[in-house]
Structure 1
Amino acid sequence: MAWLLALVAVHAGLVSAREGVQVGERSAFAKLVPAEEVEASAAQQYKQMLSQARGKQAVATSQNAQLQRLRRIAQQLIPFAQEWNPRAKEWQWEVNLLRSDQVNAFCMPGGKIAFYTGILDKLQLTDDEVALVMGHEIAHALREHARERMGKTAATGIGANLITQIFGLGQVGQSITEMGAQLLTLRFSREDETEADLVGMELAARAGFNPRAGISLWTKMAQANRNAPPQWLSTHPASDTRIGDMEAAMPDVEPLYQRAKRPQ
């Protein structure tokens, strides 16, 4: 009987194994905050940000060649997002380009993507490099890193509120709405950033973009970092560490790239 159980376990392991990077399950803390509320808050903030930027004539029009390029790359990446998060199938994806010297890009929960002209112009990104940046940012949304951070804050607040109720000290902590208002300025942990690198590499590889562009991308980032760190690097691991992690993951993603249909 023992040998049969062992055989079943081995078979289950083979069935559950997937090709690509391995990053584990999403954090249980994320479940403390409803995904719908996080995504709704993100959509509202994204809309407000675009409105403010349009008031400064800082949003690229649909005729802008760089914006068209970004949207084309996004269309190639998005079909591979659902495997990482089933909710992505229902997201109302948006891609916009903001005129700013900042070396920055982001994807908010619910698929709200923005690039700054600074990251494209200053780093002279190739399509493959843009796909690695975009894949990284999409990965943050797919892995629900913002929701996880909010869940951890909520858990802390719940603990604090229990103590204050016991000792009669009043209410403490932020509401989910207040935490959600920080989505545009949220800083991720280094572990989140490393995870986003790996998932982003896989998304790009499956979409037919060369994952080795991550190496050239972070070489450019390191050069841009010599004088003053770009905003995009604020909490990211050091370039050497990041490049080493990417090199280690290449055997997991290069076969996907070799079989992928190349972007037109």
Structure 2
Amino acid sequence: MWLCRAFAAFLLACAAAATPALAQVDVGEASRLRSLVPAGQLESAANQQYAALIAQARDKRALAPPDHPQLKRLREISARLIAHSARFNERAAKWNWEVNLIGSKMVNAFCMPGGKIAVFTGLVDQLKLTDDEAAMVIGHEMAHALREHARARIAKTQGTGLALSLGAQLLGLGHIGDLAANVGTQLITLKFSRTDEIDADLVGLELAARAGYDPEAAVTLWQKMGSVQKKGGAPAWLSTHPSGTDRIERLRENVPRVRGLYLQASGKR
């Protein structure tokens, strides 16, 4: 009996060695502070703010039509990323994802809570993004939404108000959801912490790799960002997405951890 068990253990070990587990980035648990802000209320507020932005872009004839080549390209890339989004946030499976391209010289992009994505033409044109690099940008922005950084940041910056609103709710005097609704206009300009940015870098890297995009593009993307920054007139995206050699090195260190995911997804393994 003992010999049989030992042999079985040996076979399992051999199988494990033949098919090693695919590495994943280590970002830990999402901030528990986010639970202070109702996800549904915040996503509803984000949807309203996004709709207002899209309407404004349409009025100014800055909204790319559905048949715009760049928009079609971005939507195809996003669809591949979205297919893996629920791995990082179960709510994402029920989000009404939307991707739009807005004509502007701004080097910017964002993804609001609930899966509302906007990319500005300045980002695509000035950086001459490849598909892999575009996937890294979109993946990074999606990661902010999937990891619910906005909920956590609002909880931190509105700490006193949240505590008072929560107390009022417990006493039957009001609804904490009102606070979430009132911050909808802040979501586009919300600045994330350094920890949030690192989190989004790594989750975005893995998300893109799982979708079959070359993780090396994360490095070339930020190298391009650094070049734009050195030329002066730092783009809007860099105001909330600081570049630097430490960021590039961190991404470079994590590329091997997701390379297996990329090779498997792209059929190059």
TM range (shorter): 0.7 to 0.9
CA deviations over 1:203-239 (Å, ceiling 9, x no partner): 0100000010011111110111011211101132332
Letter in 1 for 2:245: D
Q: 1:225 to 1:64 in 2, by over 3 A?
A: same
2:206 to 179, 202, 208: 202
Q: CA deviation at 1:134?
A: 0.4
What root-mean-square deviation, in Å, do the aligned CA atoms of Structure 1 and Structure 2 show? 2.0
Q: CA deviation at 1:150?
A: 1.3
Structure 2: state its 5+ residue gaps: 1-20, 167-177
* Alpha carbons 1:194, 1:237 under 8 Å: kept: no
In structure 2, how many angstroms separate the alpha carbons of the residues matched to 1:241 and 1:198? 13
In structure 2, how many angstroms separate the alpha carbons of the residues matched to 1:159 and 1:115? 35
Report whether the alignment pairs 1:243 with 2:248.
yes
TM-score w.r.t. length of structure 1: 0.85
* Alpha carbons 1:129, 1:217 under 8 Å: kept: yes
In structure 2, how many angstroms separate the alpha carbons of the residues matched to 1:110 and 1:262? 31
Letter in 1 for 2:243: A
In structure 2, how many angstroms separate the alpha carbons of the residues matched to 1:36 and 1:158? 16
Report whether the alignment pairs 1:101 with 2:105.
yes
Q: CA deviation at 1:159?
A: 5.2
In structure 1, how many angstroms separate the alpha carbons of the residues matched to 2:52 and 2:162? 30
Runs of 4+ more than 2 Å apart: 153-162, 174-181, 235-239
Q: Please, which moves more after superposition, 184-193 or 199-208? A: 184-193
In structure 2, how many angstroms separate the alpha carbons of the residues matched to 1:223 and 1:60? 27
Q: CA deviation at 1:116?
A: 0.3
Structure 1: state its 5+ residue gaps: 1-16, 163-173
* Alpha carbons 1:221, 1:239 under 8 Å: kept: no
TM-score w.r.t. length of structure 2: 0.83
- For the residue of structure 2 that corresponds to 1:175, the secondary structure is helix
- For the residue of structure 1 that corresponds to 2:183, the secondary structure is helix
In structure 2, how many angstroms separate the alpha carbons of the residues matched to 1:125 and 1:39? 29
1:82 to 83, 86, 95: 86
Equivalences, count: 237
Residue 233 of structure 2 is matched in structure 1 by 228
* Alpha carbons 1:128, 1:209 under 8 Å: kept: yes
Letter in 1 for 2:182: E
